[in-house]
């Protein structure tokens, strides 16, 4: 039975989640503070941590970093208010796997939890038969690249160009830097390069340098010998050895320590590594694809990335455009995600209403394709008929976005506003019912303060 640790200071949410996740055959533990969560993590193994972004004792990023030190492979889903999505997408740089927005919908949560655990397990340790080492089984971490089957080429000019670049650079052995905002698809592009290269069939390993605790990074990348430091209880292969013959994808390269950058440079120049504490070098043949969502020339200027390493990695550069700047792709991908979500949820939602399409086109998409995927997944869950309507979109997309929707003719604005309001009114009523009309609890679940809730009750003429 997969096990989940819920970290949330809202005891009602913990209780509610424990109840329905247990019913869905998960083993659930709860913690009300970050410190308590870390304590639980020290004594238990979990498949997934479901963690509120705002905890009283520790901020979300710091907690993620501390979780990763204790367990670098556990899957993490962040719970956040939609208004904080911009901050939540930042957590992907620190190892979060996905996020869900409040108010929580049980069905959506179940789908997200199931997908996250499955995807994370595919990345985890697998025993493989190692012919070169006398057929001995060894434990390695290999990324399953079957997901590359799902790599979709967008229809915008920028996406077509990216595809050309992938096909151009893949057969060569050049190092590649892929840059782009979070969620633009850097890892998908890296997998695609691997798939089209002669290294296909060999390992593709993804290392998230942002999520890698500094203390463990050297050993994770280059391996270590038994006894080389406290905790090194046996010899360990690093990612370079494991990925030998294949491709190593180094995400958030700007986060590597200076010392590890020097070691990385040596691998590129001499094709050799030395495990921590070892005396002998090991020859390595690995193609490196690095990714970043920062401007690397600035990172170099600031002294966080060695210039020589930057130039060695920068043999070929692929720059992914934010989704908001390739508008043609928005609806194209939305339809793709719609079909995927509809199939996986066993529903028959096939269309996006004209208004929904307009609003999607004009939203900012801080989290790019990842955010679009999440919004569509939730919209499919909330849709009763075969067409996604405005009320199934988060209020942040329909409300804040209104000023930007230039294609909406003036007389339609009032109508759209009223649709958005209807959706919000319904959401408030649903939550009130769920918490037996306890307004404090309702405000918490809705992620607004009590005063705002009272104002909205007045506005929508709700008299519980």
Binding residues (CB under 6 A) for ligand ATP: these are 92, 150-152, 180, 182-188, 251, 293, 369-370, 373
Of the pair 101, 182, the CB lying nearest ligand ATP is at 182
> CB of residue 391 vs ligand ATP: minimum separation in angstroms?
24
> CB of residue 78 vs ligand ATP: minimum separation in angstroms?
12
Of the pair 213, 277, the CB lying nearest ligand ATP is at 213
CB 69 within 8 A of CB 96: no
Of the pair 82, 92, the CB lying nearest ligand ATP is at 92
> CB of residue 152 vs ligand ATP: minimum separation in angstroms?
4
- CB crowding 72-105: b at 16 or more within 10 Å, else e: eebbbbbbbbbbbbebbbbbbbbbbbbbbbbbeb
- List all residues 6 or more positions away from 200 whose beta carbon is below 8 Å from its beta carbon: 145, 194
- Spacing of C-alpha 141 from chain mean position: 19
Of the pair 299, 395, the CB lying nearest ligand ATP is at 299
Of the pair 30, 156, the CB lying nearest ligand ATP is at 156
In 293-445 the beta strands, taken as DSSP E runs, fall at: 316-319, 351-352, 387-388
CB 29 within 8 A of CB 5: yes
Order of strands across the sheet that contains 48-52: 27-31, 3-7, 48-52, 75-81, 98-102
Question: How many CA atoms does the CB half-sphere of 348 hold within 13 Å?
Answer: 2
194/192 Cα distance (integer angstroms): 5
Of the pair 186, 194, the CB lying nearest ligand ATP is at 186
> CB of residue 172 vs ligand ATP: minimum separation in angstroms?
21
> CB of residue 188 vs ligand ATP: minimum separation in angstroms?
4
CA-nearest of 184, 105, 21, 148 to 377 is: 105
DSSP state of 202: B
The CA-to-CA distance between both ends of the chain, in Å, stands at 41
- Maximum distance among all alpha carbons in the chain? 76
Of the pair 63, 320, the CB lying nearest ligand ATP is at 320
> CB of residue 39 vs ligand ATP: minimum separation in angstroms?
29
Query: What does the block give as tokens for 451?
Result: 């005063």
> CB of residue 185 vs ligand ATP: minimum separation in angstroms?
3
> CB of residue 440 vs ligand ATP: minimum separation in angstroms?
35
Of the pair 241, 371, the CB lying nearest ligand ATP is at 371
Of the pair 244, 251, the CB lying nearest ligand ATP is at 251
> CB of residue 338 vs ligand ATP: minimum separation in angstroms?
13
Order of strands across the sheet that contains 316-319: 204-208, 247-251, 287-292, 176-179, 316-319
């Amino acid at each position: 039975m997969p096990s989940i640790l819920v970290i949330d200071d809202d005891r009602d949410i913990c209780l509610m989640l424990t109840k329905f996740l247990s019913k869905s055959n998960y083993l659930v533990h709860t913690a009300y503070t970050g410190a308590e969560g870390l304590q639980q993590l020290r004594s238990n193994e979990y498949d997934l941590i479901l963690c509120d972004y705002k905890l009283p004792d520790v901020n979300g990023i710091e907690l993620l970093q501390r979780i990763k030190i204790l367990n670098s492979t556990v899957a993490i889903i962040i719970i956040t208010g939609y208004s904080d999505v911009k901050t939540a997408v930042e957590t992907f740089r620190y190892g979060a796997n996905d996020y869900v927005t409040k108010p929580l919908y049980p069905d959506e949560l179940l789908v997200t939890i199931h997908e996250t655990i499955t995807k994370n397990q595919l990345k985890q340790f697998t025993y493989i038969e190692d012919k070169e080492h006398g057929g001995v089984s060894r434990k390695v971490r290999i990324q399953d690249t079957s997901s590359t089957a799902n790599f979709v080429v967008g229809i915008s000019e920028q996406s077509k160009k990216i595809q050309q670049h992938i096909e151009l650079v893949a057969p060569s052995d050049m190092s590649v830097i892929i840059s782009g905002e979070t969620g633009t698809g850097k890892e998908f592009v890296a997998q695609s390069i691997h798939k089209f290269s002669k290294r296909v069939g060999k390992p593709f390993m993804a290392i998230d340098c942002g999520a890698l605790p500094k203390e463990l990074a050297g050993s994770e990348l280059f391996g270590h010998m038994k006894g080389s430091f406290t905790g090194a209880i046996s010899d360990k292969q690093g990612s370079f050895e494991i990925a030998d013959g294949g491709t190593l994808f180094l995400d958030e390269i700007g986060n590597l320590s200076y010392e590890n950058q020097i070691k990385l440079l040596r691998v590129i120049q001499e094709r050799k590594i030395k495990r921590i504490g070892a005396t002998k070098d090991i020859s390595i043949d690995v193609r490196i694809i690095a990714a970043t969502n920062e401007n690397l020339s600035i990172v170099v200027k600031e002294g966080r990335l060695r210039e020589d390493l930057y130039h060695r990695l920068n043999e070929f550069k692929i720059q992914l455009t934010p989704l908001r700047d390739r508008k043609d792709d928005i609806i194209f991908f939305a339809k793709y995600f719609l079909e995927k979500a509809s199939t996986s949820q066993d529903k028959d939602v096939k269309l996006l209403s004209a208004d929904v399409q307009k609003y999607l086109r004009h939203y900012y998409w801080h989290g790019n394709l990842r955010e679009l995927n999440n919004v569509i997944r939730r919209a499919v869950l909330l849709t009763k008929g075969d067409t996604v309507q405005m009320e199934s979109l988060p209020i942040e997309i329909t409300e804040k976005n209104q000023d930007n929707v230039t294609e909406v003719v003036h007389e339609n604005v009032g109508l759209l506003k009223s649709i958005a309001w209807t959706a919000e009114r319904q959401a408030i009523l649903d939550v009130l019912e769920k918490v037996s009309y306890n307004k404090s609890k309702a405000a918490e679940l809705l992620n607004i303060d009590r005063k705002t809730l009272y104002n909205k009750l007045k506005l929508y003429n709700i008299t519980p």
